[in-house]
Chains A and B, each alone.
Chain A
């Protein structure tokens, strides 16, 4: 590692290009939809009202929710298109509103004079209405541009690469450099686009070549950093399960494998490990990280992602919608059977560690309240923090009912901040992940689940319907089966969460630990 933000710059072209593609695409779409629509409805108050109301409603949906909603609405598709669609919807309102307001603001005498001198309705629209409304429309475009560039950072969880990848990964792995970098670049892009739009606006108003040129150069400068990707990249082709390739090939040479990862430290490290493992066999690897649980799985089922790691308990509760506890031994078999039969997804072996939820508390709280088992919490008035996902699952309600935990006060909190919160006594309990390095580092006390209510969370590899056809891929992944103990995973997680190493450093370390060559 050398130089400021060296690690961030390394992945910059891809993140930036993804972000720019989303933002510029959405703005263009906003213009293409809003200006004609606004023109059509501006003179018809009956339509103008409802059109604005509809657009305003879209605007009140929080960005992250709108992006997430697009995934199911678009049949489980993830990546560029749902993000692009949501952002386009976002850019419609400000442009539409300003088109309508701008057109309605054109002086009535001037509009009448345009007809009186012999213009047709279309000529008046082109020569008078639109030029006079242009400054207002452009102001709307600027607002849209600021919103879209900012909101595009939220496309990471739906699998579209953007500057948000820095922010989401940075938040999860507490890499503040990455967060700062993502924010700075995103802000710089917003400012730059504003300047470019401003130049084009002046060019149009004053019919000035100089401003048009400045705008053109500005736009070229904004796009240029994204282009380095194509110079280096060449065409990438999806090749997992490519029928032209005989299934028996051992090498993954020339194939592109897409690895998925959800948005927390362990998943980032495992994606890095998978990447190293597959690249060693010659594959080209793309990573889609920061995905939400169901987004990651849907992407796998639809073949947009070839491989990722999930946990038995997650599939059991979140996808199979089972709320009965299962025997640890039977669970993996039942989960893998369900995956194959219901979704065509292959469960390709457990990694060897478990990352369950465990009720954890600080030594002080444990001592003060005489806590050893979950049952000891019954009737106590304590605050418990967990990720929002957990409180929505049946295992929480089941645990609560089984142990009589109604008196606990549940608080949703991002997992990145939970451990510090419990250590500092801001909350009394957290649902810790059993592979988290901070359990040891902070001396946290894990409360025993005497009734075995909490389900097992064995990590295992999932393969998409296409990917499981590739024998070479199966060969390459096989050494990972059973290779990672809970201690090993916890150690890798602490490297990032506690020792402040980068994900790729931790991934490299883990790769060395598990690869057969090093044994």
Chain B
């Protein structure tokens, strides 16, 4: 087992944001966390890389316990991608991507090789983009660089918090395809936080539905559709189901 989260709990003031959340992740596997706004997805994700320290519960990565090492060392082994990329505006693309390798003490040659490999992979070749500043990139390009930065330290796992939320549908489709490809090529596991069942469907091996700080059901998309555990899961599926029917009908008519 690559990642194990065991009974993670976090309370802010008097809101219980996350309540006894447990799950496991095999190497290379993707888990989607999905649920309504405020249900505790981001908090859960940040407890995995200790941007938020849990009140209770344990995180294990590759057999090592999170609380057993310094937070910054723990985070260097885990990639993190957020909504608006969070690139460092005063650093070039190359410098942004190479922060973690630098902190890990890689030599120059290895860093440069990694930079070129990753920028090629995300479709922004180093020759044209390495020396640009974030302000000189489009939103989609920024998000790709954010992805490259998260992957630069060769992590076994990448955490993604609504990485597509700010993108237009076309850009979003391209990025989803890229992530799927990168995952095949590099073999990293990931936890993807999203509101969107479609995204979960395309990227995740398993989906965990959260409500009120708890995981109410975990399973493949097929499992959830076949037997939703409760009303929350059913509601979550209602909109995509309607959309699928509408789209299917439209394509059916158009195709005949």
| Smallest CB separation, B97 vs chain A (Å) | 10
B86 interface neighbour in A110, A119, A120, Cβ under 8 Å: A110
* Inter-chain contact B82/A117, CB cutoff 8 Å: no
**Which residues on B sit within 8 Å (CB–CB) of A515?**
none
B10 contacts partner chain A, Cβ-Cβ < 8 Å = no
Known: A117-B80, A120-B72. A132 touches B51 (CB 8 A): no
**Which residues on B sit within 8 Å (CB–CB) of A118?**
72-73, 75-76, 99-100, 103-104, 153
**Which residues on B sit within 8 Å (CB–CB) of A128?**
88
| Smallest CB separation, B111 vs chain A (Å) | 14
Known: A117-B75, A118-B153. A123 touches B103 (CB 8 A): yes
B49 contacts partner chain A, Cβ-Cβ < 8 Å = yes
* Complex Cα gap A284–B104 (Å): 64
- Residue in chain B with minimal CB distance to A109: B86
| CB neighbors of B among A64-118 (8 A) | 107, 109-110, 112-118
* Inter-chain contact A113/B87, CB cutoff 8 Å: yes
| CB neighbors of A among B75-109 (8 A) | 75-76, 80, 82-90, 99-100, 103-104
| Smallest CB separation, A427 vs chain B (Å) | 62
| CB neighbors of A among B144-158 (8 A) | 149-150, 153
* Inter-chain contact B86/A113, CB cutoff 8 Å: yes
- Residue in chain A with minimal CB distance to B78: A116
A218 contacts partner chain B, Cβ-Cβ < 8 Å = no
A115 interface neighbour in B73, B75, B87, B153, Cβ under 8 Å: B75
Number of interface residues of A (CB under 8 A): 18
**Which residues on B sit within 8 Å (CB–CB) of A131?**
90
- Residue in chain A with minimal CB distance to B134: A110
* Inter-chain contact B76/A115, CB cutoff 8 Å: no
Instruction: Tell me whether chain B's interface is mostly helix, strand or loop, or mixed.
Output: loop
| Smallest CB separation, A126 vs chain B (Å) | 12
Instruction: Please classify how large the interface on chain B is, using the bins under 10, 10 to 19, 20 to 34, 35 or more.
Output: 20 to 34
Known: A117-B103, A118-B153. A112 touches B82 (CB 8 A): yes
* Complex Cα gap A113–B81 (Å): 8
**Which residues on A sit within 8 Å (CB–CB) of B103?**
117-119, 123
**Which residues on B sit within 8 Å (CB–CB) of A110?**
86-89
* Inter-chain contact A119/B89, CB cutoff 8 Å: no
A112 interface neighbour in B51, B70, B71, B87, Cβ under 8 Å: B51
* Complex Cα gap A128–B73 (Å): 18
* Complex Cα gap A119–B72 (Å): 6
**Which residues on A sit within 8 Å (CB–CB) of B104?**
118
| Smallest CB separation, A289 vs chain B (Å) | 50
* Inter-chain contact B90/A132, CB cutoff 8 Å: yes
| Smallest CB separation, B142 vs chain A (Å) | 12
**Which residues on A sit within 8 Å (CB–CB) of B51?**
112, 115-116
* Complex Cα gap A128–B103 (Å): 14
| Smallest CB separation, B76 vs chain A (Å) | 3
One digit per residue, 1 when the CB lies within 8 angstroms of any chain B CB and 0 when it does not, for chain A 114-139 equals 11111110010001100110000000
**Which residues on B sit within 8 Å (CB–CB) of A120?**
70, 72
| Smallest CB separation, B167 vs chain A (Å) | 16
* Inter-chain contact B99/A117, CB cutoff 8 Å: yes
- Residue in chain A with minimal CB distance to B84: A109
Which positions in A face B, CB cutoff 8 Å? 107, 109-110, 112-120, 123, 127-128, 131-132, 205
7 extra A-B contacts, CB within 8 A, seeds A109-B83, A113-B86, A118-B153: A115-B51, A116-B80, A118-B73, A118-B99, A118-B100, A119-B72, A132-B90
Which positions in B face A, CB cutoff 8 Å? 49, 51, 70-73, 75-76, 80, 82-90, 99-100, 103-104, 149-150, 153
Q: 5 closest pairs, A vs B, by CB?
A: A113-B86, A118-B76, A116-B80, A109-B86, A120-B72
**14 pairs of residues in contact across A and B, judged by CB atoms under 8 Å:** A109-B83, A110-B89, A113-B82, A113-B85, A113-B86, A113-B87, A116-B75, A116-B86, A117-B150, A117-B153, A118-B72, A118-B73, A118-B100, A123-B72
